[in-house]
């Protein structure tokens, strides 16, 4: 589970970095808090961070339980793919919102795989005792 712990820590760090990017964009595009609209490019940074945090709610328990019940190495590999997907999502979305789709898929598919595997693993553990 060492690799899973590393991926989880990197996912948390990624969210922190994306949050810092929102702060930078808020300053650059002069969007005063608490506003979350007012400049289209700022809104892209904001959405990247917000959407990433929405994904984390599902990703974090899913990777942990998948690693515990199924395979920690596969959980880490899927988690690494998720991290790359989030970076590509951020780059694409900030550049042009329609370019976010590949990164979105590259992070959503591993998350769903982890979630389904975690549920399967938990049910299997309950049934087999």
Domains in the chain (CATH in brackets) are 2-128 (1.20.120.550)
Buried b (16+ CB within 10 A) or exposed e, 16-43: eebbebbeebbeeeebeeeeeeebeebb
Is residue 73 over pLDDT 90? yes
Question: What pLDDT is attached to residue 91?
Answer: 98
Give yes or no for a contact between 83 and 98, defined as CB atoms under 8 angstroms apart. Answer: no
Question: What pLDDT is attached to residue 127?
Answer: 97
Backbone angles phi, psi at 49, to 5 degrees: -65, -45
| Dist. CA 17–CA 10, nearest whole Å | 10
Averaged over 80-87, what is the pLDDT? 98
Q: What is the mean pLDDT of the chain?
A: 97
Is residue 114 over pLDDT 90? yes
Through-space distance between the first and last CA atoms of the chain, rounded to whole angstroms = 22
């Amino acid at each position: 589970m060492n690799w899973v712990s590393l991926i989880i820590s990197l996912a948390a760090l990624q969210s922190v970095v994306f949050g810092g990017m929102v702060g930078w964009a808020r300053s650059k595009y002069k969007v005063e808090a608490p506003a979350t609209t007012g400049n289209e490019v700022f809104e892209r940074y904001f959405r990247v961070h917000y959407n990433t945090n929405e994904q984390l709610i599902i990703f974090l328990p899913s990777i942990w339980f998948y690693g515990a019940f199924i395979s920690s190495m596969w959980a880490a590999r899927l988690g690494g793919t998720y991290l790359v997907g989030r970076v590509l999502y951020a780059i694409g979305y900030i550049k042009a919102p329609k370019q976010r789709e590949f990164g979105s898929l590259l992070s959503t598919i591993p998350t769903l795989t982890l979630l389904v595997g975690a549920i399967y693993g938990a049910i299997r553990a309950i049934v087999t005792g």
